[in-house]
Structure 1
Amino acid sequence: MLFNLFGKKDENSDKHIFVDRAYVSTAAKMNACAALAEKEPNHLFICWFPETAVRFREFFRQQGLNEDLVMETRHVHASKLQDKLPVFVEHYPLHTKEIELIKNWDKENILVFSALDEPLFKHFGSDKVIPMIKLLGMKEDEAIEHSMVTKSIIKGQEKIGELVSLEQSANSQAEWMTKNIK
């Protein structure tokens, strides 16, 4: 049943493999990742794009953190995840690619840190949402975390997937969006 006004909520409706934490800015997202790495060094911070990995490694180094905690997806395999909790520092624009990477992982509730000023979110008009969120009193270091956010991101990724006929690789999310969405 698609809609049941008075019935029970479908228990699986809010179950997702990812748990999204969206920040207003990339700087706030990076600070949150560094704080998590400092507090719980058993996390492995995974980047989809080389440019992101370079920025995060440099940031971790500046914060006195182990830059080896940051890894690109192309270097991730089961042995690297041994005794580590994976955390994505960005979404890949295509949800199918994310699922493909993690399909054999024995992990649930994988954290994904995002920022509303990232190209993926800008594609859906986050530039208009950011001032409103700030106006409502949300602090820069506060995260938006809810299953509805995750659902919206997945729907957005699926819409992007419909626009991409032949995917071209890229070094950054911005470059990917430019190359693949016409």
Structure 2
Amino acid sequence: MLSNLFGKKEGNVSEAIFKDKVYLNSTGKIVACLQLATTNANCIFIAWFQETAAIYKKFFNQYNIDTKRLILAANWNQSQLQNYQPVFLEHYPLNAKELDLVKDWQRTNIRVYSAMDEPLFKHFGSDKMVPLIKLLGFKENESIEHSYVTESIIKGQNKIAAKVLVEQTAASQGEWMKKNLQD
């Protein structure tokens, strides 16, 4: 069912690198990230966009979680990985950019937390899937995890990459989608 969100199954190298946890909405994702941050001091949280980093910084401050554990991917330093388990707070719309960042990490199953109300997912019609998923009994605080989900996200990212001739930077995923996709 979810594998159809972005298209048919197609293998990719990043399937082995990333492990997706997709929540119905951003609230469920934030709660899960805060819970992970409070229970696992070895996690370091990586945001691709400034807006995401600002949102999580606010919540980290509110729950007395060290904001030094929150890093913007553009400011990433390889030495920060030594004693930490990386967790991405979102996907970058282009899979190649994600792979470029992690190419020297020699890690697999790097967690990526996403929500179906994020612009990347909405671009592929997640708004139509959410009511069906709720009907199946999924709760806001439950994640959907499966290799098909990761494969579908990669396929979607590759479809986006095929449309982007010259990438324009942005402060948020939504702004990136507006600037780079002329649908």
Structure-2-length-normalised TM-score = 0.90
One-letter amino acid matched to 1:152: S
The answer as to 2:22 corresponding to 1:22 is: yes
Q: How many Å apart are 1:106 and its aligned residue?
A: 2.3
Q: How many Å apart are 1:13 and its aligned residue?
A: 8.9
One-letter amino acid matched to 1:121: F
- 4+ residue runs over 6 A deviation: none
Bigger relative contact order, structure 1 or 2 (CA pairs below 8 A, ≥6 apart): 2
| Identical pairs, percent | 51
Gaps of 5+ in 2: 1-11
The answer as to 2:44 corresponding to 1:39 is: no
Structure-1-length-normalised TM-score = 0.91
Quick one: structure 1 residues 58 and 17, their matched pair in 2 at CA, closer, same or farther if it must change by over 3 Å?
same
Map 1:113-132 → 2, pairs under 5 A: 113-132=113-132
Structure label with greater radius of gyration = 1
Q: Which range moved further: 118-127 or 12-21?
A: 12-21
SS of equivalent residue, structure 2 residue 86: strand
CA distance in 2, matches of 1:156, 1:13: 15
Gaps of 5+ in 1: 1-11
Are the equivalent residues in 2 in contact too, given 1:14–1:147 (CA < 8 A)? no
Aligned CA RMSD, in angstroms, stands at 1.4
Q: How many Å apart are 1:54 and its aligned residue?
A: 0.5
Q: Which range moved further: 99-108 or 171-180?
A: 99-108
- Aligned pair count? 171
Are the equivalent residues in 2 in contact too, given 1:92–1:173 (CA < 8 A)? yes
